[in-house]
Amino acid sequence: MAESRSICIVPLVGSNYATWKIKCHMALMKNSLWKIVNGTETEPAGAEALTKFNSRKDRALAIIILSIDLTLLHLLWDPTNPVEVWKALSDQFLKKTWTNRLSLTRKLHSLKLNAVVGDNITEDDHVVYLLASLPESYDMLVTAFEANETVPSMNTVIERLVYEGRKRQERNPSSSTAEGAMAAKHHKNGPKCFFC
């Protein structure tokens, strides 16, 4: 009995790459096409075998492309090879850059850590932790650091943070003093009455 159920894959929109990848991988495996996509099955020598292989390769490409949201198709230009499409998507959404590491670290810090795993913390880790712990008001500074290809040194980050802190204090010197806080609170009581 042939199985007539089709596989439903939620379209890739970018933020769901991890789950999309698993579902698409399974759909390709179910149709015996995964070995073509991962590159372990290559073009055979015979003409008839090559025709069958190309037909299967086209089906693999169709499964991948049809499970991608229209807004992301520009990333693939003119897709003809499922191996290249799979790699392009992986490169796009699984970049191993320190910017992605920073983003993931921010998510990690919002979770509760239950135990220490005993891994040594490098200077790069310190920089990433420091930048991830900054308040949202420092997002522009963090974005400037993210523009670099490499993780900046801790000294560079500290220098820039000190400079940024001084700049902010010069712009609004009373914001860090108790007098400034009291003055700000006093103004919040309402407008002064001029009828008396």
Neighbouring C-beta atoms of residue 120, cutoff 10 Å: 5
Q: Which two tokens stand for residue 188?
A: 């919040």
Radius of gyration of the chain (CA): 27
First to last CA, the chain: 95
In the three-class reduction of DSSP (H, G, I as helix; E, B as strand; rest coil), residue 68 is classed as: strand
Q: How does pLDDT run along the chain (196 residues), one tens digit per residue?
A: 444 456 788 899 888 888 899 999 999 999 999 999 999 999 999 999 999 999 999 999 999 999 999 988 888 888 899 999 999 898 888 766 677 777 777 776 665 545 555 566 778 888 888 888 888 888 888 888 888 888 899 889 888 988 888 888 888 876 555 444 444 444 555 666 777 6
- The single-letter code of the amino acid at 52 is K
How far apart CA 195 and CA 170 sit, in angstroms, is 38
The verdict on pTM exceeding 0.85 is no
